[in-house]
């Protein structure tokens, strides 16, 4: 206490600079009031009650890692003073061995030293966590590389790298594991690149790699592949094996921009594309990567998860027997309820599903859902119904297609005679696409086959002989003008009579008008389907339609 009094008197007497002195008896009380804005410096007595050596200093440091501190020791304690300085204290004073001159100077220097240290930190060129060059140094090197590339007519490549699902590491294993992982990634990148390449950490888990004097652009691709490969080995962090992947985007100077910020932005965009494409890959930025491709990519990415998110739904359109006027079956038609775009019809997403192969899992889902639903309706006592399911060419060409159909029938308990598969004309024309054995396998499942949209392709009824075809569906385009266009009427008529002579059933689809229905009735077409009778309906609506029919 006498020291504190002495000090306050000493300091109060000083003019230039002048000090304002606040004194707390205990460390706890002091730390409660401490704030970086108010105090320039802490003068800490190491001989506080309950603390030994320089424990009091460590205690303070833990709570206030950056505050400038000068420690006050007694003459026997010199070691603690030096230790405290080694731990980051600015200086120390020995009790009884100072005058106002010395105290003033020490405190003043301590404050100044702390300030210049901070300035230096800001200006320094390295990331304190990974020791990689920081953004300032990186941009400087990038500018130099761009100038050199201009002179020698070369390229500069920027690889923008983002660690996939890094946030999950921080969230589940804690920030210290996250930090260690970032260091390990930095180390692995450094180990896989030339010394002339510059790596920087630009965001929390984002790195940018600068490849100067790139002669061939494929060089950057090779480097990106090398990095993907380098991520294949796990990172061992604090006794854990972490398997990580990364996504990268690549931009080139001068092709993708002649300005630092634009090059970075474009590499970043390409990286986002890599994320969209399922992560663990890299994409090149190109100015042709326009909004349309991005939109398509987004759709594709969404479609990938449409099944598991329950966004797909089957609608059912009744098929009417023209002789009895009764509903005898229905066609299952797919709808996608997209979270942002609402209900999408098949023409809006099936081409994409075909291109990406996603039609295979989707087609399987359709088949299983339609079979299960039909079995349910049959069990509920609704009259004999046959469900028609559209099959894409890709699906049909799958080697295990027949086996899959059989498996689904068994799984759902639907009798094969209640299922009709609608195939395209293309399938009929493709002789090499599948073997007799696979056709036999399909025959032996007992399901019926229909040819959809008949008359639009190049097949003739003769080519159908090879297939166990049961039904022909006349394409809507002939139905539209059937009552006004004599050619359409002649074609439809020919299809019906030829099909009947081959003992095939005929369905006309797209019937919207009474007059169209009359035409097909008078020409002995077997079944019809179209808006005149009903639009495709959701399960609940279709159920109530069935109930109505049962009540009649």
Q: Does 425 bind Mg ion (CB under 5 A)?
A: no
Q: Does 453 bind Mg ion (CB under 5 A)?
A: yes
Tell the burial category of 446 from Cβ atoms under 10 Å away from its Cβ (0-12, 13-18, 19+). middle
User: Pattern 314-343, binding to ligand C2E, x per CB under 6 A?
Assistant: ---x---------------xx---------
In the complex, the smallest distance separating the C-beta of residue 486 from ligand C2E, rounded to whole angstroms, is: 22
Identify whether the C-beta of residue 256 lies closer than 8 Å to the C-beta of residue 288: no
Identify whether the C-beta of residue 24 lies closer than 8 Å to the C-beta of residue 60: no
User: Pattern 392-431, binding to ligand C2E, x per CB under 6 A?
Assistant: x-----------------------------x---------
In the complex, the smallest distance separating the C-beta of residue 407 from ligand C2E, rounded to whole angstroms, is: 18
In the complex, the smallest distance separating the C-beta of residue 510 from Mg ion, rounded to whole angstroms, is: 8
Identify whether the C-beta of residue 422 lies closer than 8 Å to the C-beta of residue 390: yes
Rounded CA separation 226/229 (Å): 5
Rounded CA separation 310/394 (Å): 23
Q: Does 450 bind ligand C2E (CB under 6 A)?
A: no
Q: Does 345 bind ligand C2E (CB under 6 A)?
A: yes
In the complex, the smallest distance separating the C-beta of residue 456 from ligand C2E, rounded to whole angstroms, is: 10
Q: Which residue stretch of 131-139, 244-252, 366-374, 444-452 sits at the interface with Mg ion (rule: CB under 5 A)?
A: 444-452
Residue 154 Cα distances to 196, 211, 222, 260, 287, angstroms = 15, 11, 17, 16, 19
Beta bridge partners of 401: none
In the complex, the smallest distance separating the C-beta of residue 484 from ligand C2E, rounded to whole angstroms, is: 16
User: Which one of ligand C2E, Mg ion, none is in contact with 455 (Cβ closer than 5 to 8 A by kind)?
Assistant: none
Bridge-based pairing of strands 527-529 and 312-321 is antiparallel
In the complex, the smallest distance separating the C-beta of residue 440 from ligand C2E, rounded to whole angstroms, is: 23
Q: Does 452 bind ligand C2E (CB under 6 A)?
A: yes
Q: Does 390 bind Mg ion (CB under 5 A)?
A: yes
Beta bridge partners of 45: 72
Tell the burial category of 391 from Cβ atoms under 10 Å away from its Cβ (0-12, 13-18, 19+). buried
Total number of residues that touch Mg ion (CB under 5 A):
4
Q: Does 127 bind Mg ion (CB under 5 A)?
A: no
- Between 264 and 387, name the residue whose CB sits nearer to ligand C2E: 387
Rounded CA separation 91/383 (Å): 95
**Considering only residues 209, 510, 526, 527, which one is a binding residue for ligand C2E as defined by CB under 6 A?**
510
Rounded CA separation 533/529 (Å): 7
Rounded CA separation 294/298 (Å): 6
Pick the closest to residue 336 from 318, 357, 351 (CA basis). 351
- Between 94 and 307, name the residue whose CB sits nearer to ligand C2E: 307
User: Which one of ligand C2E, Mg ion, none is in contact with 107 (Cβ closer than 5 to 8 A by kind)?
Assistant: none
Q: Does 455 bind ligand C2E (CB under 6 A)?
A: no
In the complex, the smallest distance separating the C-beta of residue 333 from ligand C2E, rounded to whole angstroms, is: 4
Q: Which residue stretch of 111-119, 187-195, 445-453, 543-551 sits at the interface with Mg ion (rule: CB under 5 A)?
A: 445-453
Residue 151 Cα distances to 103, 104, 155, 219, angstroms = 59, 57, 10, 20
Bridge-based pairing of strands 246-253 and 235-237 is unpaired
**Considering only residues 127, 162, 256, 422, which one is a binding residue for Mg ion as defined by CB under 5 A?**
422
Paired tokens of 363? 């087609």
Q: Does 481 bind ligand C2E (CB under 6 A)?
A: no
Of residues 515-534, those binding ligand C2E (CB under 6 A): 530-531
**CB neighbour burial string for 138-161, b if at least 16 within 10 angstroms, e if fewer:** bbebbeebbeebeeeebbbbbbbb
- Contact residues for 312 (Cβ-Cβ < 8 A; gap 6+): 306, 334, 335, 336, 337, 362, 365, 366
User: Pattern 176-205, binding to Mg ion, x per CB under 5 A?
Assistant: ------------------------------
Residue 206 CB neighbours (<10 A)? 16
- Between 59 and 480, name the residue whose CB sits nearer to ligand C2E: 480
Total number of residues that touch ligand C2E (CB under 6 A):
22
In the complex, the smallest distance separating the C-beta of residue 535 from ligand C2E, rounded to whole angstroms, is: 7
Name the residues that contact Mg ion, by CB under 5 A: 390, 422, 452-453
Name the residues that contact ligand C2E, by CB under 6 A: 317, 333-334, 345-347, 350, 363, 366, 390-392, 422, 452-453, 509-512, 530-531, 536
């Amino acid at each position: 206490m006498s020291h504190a009094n002495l000090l306050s008197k000493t300091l109060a007497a000083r003019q230039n600079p002048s000090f304002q002195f606040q004194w707390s008896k205990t460390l706890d009380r002091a730390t409660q009031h401490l704030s970086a804005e108010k105090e320039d410096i802490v003068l800490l007595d190491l001989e506080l009650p309950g603390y030994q050596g320089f424990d009091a200093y460590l205690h303070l440091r833990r709570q206030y890692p950056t505050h400038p501190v000068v420690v006050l020791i007694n003459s026997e304690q010199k070691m603690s003073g030096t230790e405290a300085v080694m731990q980051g204290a600015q200086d120390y004073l020995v009790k009884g061995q100072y005058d106002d001159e010395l105290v003033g100077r020490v405190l003043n220097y301590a404050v100044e030293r702390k300030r210049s240290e901070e300035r230096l930190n800001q200006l320094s060129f390295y990331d304190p966590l990974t020791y990689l060059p920081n953004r300032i140094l990186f941009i400087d090197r990038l500018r130099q590389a761009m100038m050199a590339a201009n002179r020698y007519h070369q390229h500069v490549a920027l690889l923008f790298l983002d660690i996939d699902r890094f946030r999950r590491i921080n969230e589940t294993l804690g920030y210290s594991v996250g930090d260690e992982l970032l260091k390990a990634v930095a180390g692995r990148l450094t180990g896989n690149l030339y010394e002339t390449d510059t790596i920087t950490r630009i965001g929390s888990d984002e790195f940018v790699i600068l490849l100067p004097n790139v002669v061939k652009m494929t060089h950057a691709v090779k480097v990106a592949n090398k990095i993907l490969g380098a991520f294949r080995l796990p990172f061992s962090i604090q006794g854990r094996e972490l398997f990580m992947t990364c996504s990268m985007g690549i931009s080139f100077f001068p092709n993708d921009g002649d300005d630092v910020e634009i090059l970075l932005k474009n590499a970043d965009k390409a990286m986002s594309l890599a994320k969209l494409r399922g992560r663990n890959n890299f994409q090149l930025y190109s100015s042709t990567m326009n909004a349309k491709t991005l939109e398509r990519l987004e759709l594709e990415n969404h479609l990938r998860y449409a099944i598991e998110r329950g966004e797909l739904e089957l609608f059912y359109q009744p098929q009417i027997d023209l002789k009895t006027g009764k509903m005898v079956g229905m066609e299952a038609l797919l709808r996608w309820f997209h979270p942002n775009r609402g209900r999408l019809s098949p023409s809006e997403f099936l081409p994409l599903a075909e291109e990406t192969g996603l039609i295979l899992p989707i087609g399987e889902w359709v088949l299983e859902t339609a079979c299960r639903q039909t079995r349910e309706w049959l069990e509920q006592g609704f009259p004999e119904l046959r469900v028609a399911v559209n099959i894409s060419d890709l699906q049909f060409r799958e080697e295990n297609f027949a086996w899959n159909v059989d498996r689904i029938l068994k799984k759902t308990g639907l009798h094969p005679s209640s299922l009709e598969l609608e195939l395209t004309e293309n399938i009929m024309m493709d002789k090499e696409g599948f073997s007799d054995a696979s056709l036999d396998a399909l025959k032996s499942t007992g399901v019926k086959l229909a040819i959809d949209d008949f008359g639009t392709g190049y097949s003739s009824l003769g080519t159908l002989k090879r297939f166990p075809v049961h039904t022909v569906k006349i394409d809507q385009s002939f139905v539209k003008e059937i009552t006004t266009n004599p050619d359409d009427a002649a074609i439809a008529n020919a299809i019906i009579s030829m099909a009947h002579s081959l003992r095939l059933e005929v369905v006309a689809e797209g019937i919207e008008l009474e007059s169209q229905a009359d035409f097909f009735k008078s020409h002995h077409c077997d079944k019809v389907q179209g808006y005149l009778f009903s639009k495709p309906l959701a399960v609940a609506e279709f159920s109530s339609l069935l109930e109505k029919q049962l009540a009649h």
